[in-house]
Amino acid sequence: MGDLQALVQRARELGTIVLQSINDAKSIIIVCNYDADGICAATLLAKAIQSKKGKIVVRVVSEASSDLVQQLKEDNYDLHLFCDIGAGMVSETKSTLGDKWIMIDHHSTSDDELTSRNVFNPFQHGFDGGADATTTSMAYLLACEIDRSVSENEWFTVVASLADHQDQGENHSLLGLNKASLENVLTQRVASTIDLMFYGRDAKPVYEGIATTMYPYIVGLTGSKDACLATLVSCGIPPKKEDTWRTLADLTADEKKKLVDALLPYLTTSSTAESALGQLIGTVYTLLKEDEHSPLHDAREFGILLDACSRMGQAGVAVAICMGDRDQSLHEGEELLASYRRVLNRCVRSLLGDDERVTEYSKSILLSGDGIVNESMLSPLATILSSISRFHGRVLIIKTATESGQFKISARKTLGSGELSNLGIIFQEASKMCNGRGGGTRSSAGAKIPISKLETFVKQVNSKL
């Protein structure tokens, strides 16, 4: 584990800058990525600044760009807090905004960027931003230096860690700073147990929970409630008790074992039974103060709901939920989540059903989502598809053409694919060679490049894997 003391000291130094801006009545804007990690990070900082009566604006964006930085300069804010966005743009940000910015992030980036005094990144002090800490973990440390009362919201770090798939410890548990935050909120806000990791464990019928679970994506079952119900019946598990549908929480230990035995064949086409079992069973994190019938009750589901809102074009709903709205915004969020699942399932089926969209290389597999995958859905699709045994053993890369005439590309490591390579650094270097922009973490990455540079980009990536 890295140097926590040094990390806290750095947070204290940056916190002093934010507090001075608040005390001087300066205008502050938080610019965050539209995924769950960016929104959770922005929420913690916004709550801390608001508690000190600071003037704050939150803006959610899908990506950093030169145009965005230039627009921020023209908007003339006194301090810019970038959350989960901007890695690879430190030099440009500094030349445009001067010294009026702090970049809170967890992605792999160059040594030159990590030495910037405006950057707050776990890699600066020996933590792995792909497994030990999210942007929310970093934002929490900074927010606490602004106002200690934000500590009651530390559970946001658990939501963000799970949404970013940093549950990479034994039994899908958290590591590093993420684990430290969890230990601080266990028994008060969060409970953990080892169980089947399906959606709606307390509130939804078992068959529906399986059908709507995207991680892992179970080919033949995900998206098909009828097939899931038939599977339950075939393995001798009564789906109802009298007239009431049974939930996962209602199943006995013996019934759960029967269910696992019935599901394993769907997951073991090219992987071991042990690895497949690890996709079904793991640490379940429950948010104790959320309604058990709400998707927010399960910390993983909370993060998925936030992603759903943003990627369906309603990032404001995600922010409102994080800020505490459990009425209208939550209702809208649940509807968006249902639509989001339908869109993702439709995209997965389209991609898996067309072999012409698949190009295989020795170390990677490239999927073409052109015409069927919106760029906002690319990242979650990459994560879903990387769980499918058909793609194990190679890095999964998926691309789609954007309205701006570029290719957006997302990649994930799969089981047994190049543990030593760092996808974030590889994508950053390869995209730069192609007049594009990219980056990420050790196990996940993204990029935007000119359409004409695809062949060069893929060649560069494969040469470095």
| Mean predicted lDDT score pLDDT of the chain | 94
Q: Is the torsion defined by CA of 21, 43, 153, 132 positive or negative?
A: negative
Q: What is the pLDDT of residues 243-283, one digit of tens each?
A: 999 999 999 999 999 999 999 888 865 445 567 778 889 99
Both 14 and 45 in a single domain?
Answer: yes
Both 305 and 375 in a single domain?
Answer: no
Both 358 and 315 in a single domain?
Answer: no
Domain final residue, candidates 154, 183, 206 = 154
Structural domain contains residue 404: yes
Structural domain contains residue 304: yes
Q: Which residues of the chain have pLDDT under 70?
A: 268-274, 418
Q: Who contacts 79 (Cβ-Cβ below 8 Å, separation ≥6)?
A: 17, 18, 21, 26, 27, 28, 29, 100, 101, 102
How far apart CA 37 and CA 245 sit, in angstroms, is 34
Domain final residue, candidates 281, 315, 350 = 350
Q: What pLDDT is recorded for position 273? A: 59
- Prediction pTM value: 0.94
Residue pair 27/145 in contact (Cβ under 8 Å)? The answer is no
Q: What is the CATH number of the domain that holds 50?
A: 3.90.1640.30
Residue pair 384/348 in contact (Cβ under 8 Å)? The answer is yes
Cross-strand bridge partners of residue 32? 60, 83
Whether residue 239 has a cis bond before it, omega within 30° of 0: no
Q: What pLDDT is recorded for position 270? A: 43
Residue pair 290/190 in contact (Cβ under 8 Å)? The answer is no
Both 122 and 23 in a single domain?
Answer: yes
Q: Provide the residue range defining the domain that includes 235.
A: 193-350
Count structural domains, the chain. 3
Both 104 and 223 in a single domain?
Answer: no
Both 344 and 363 in a single domain?
Answer: no
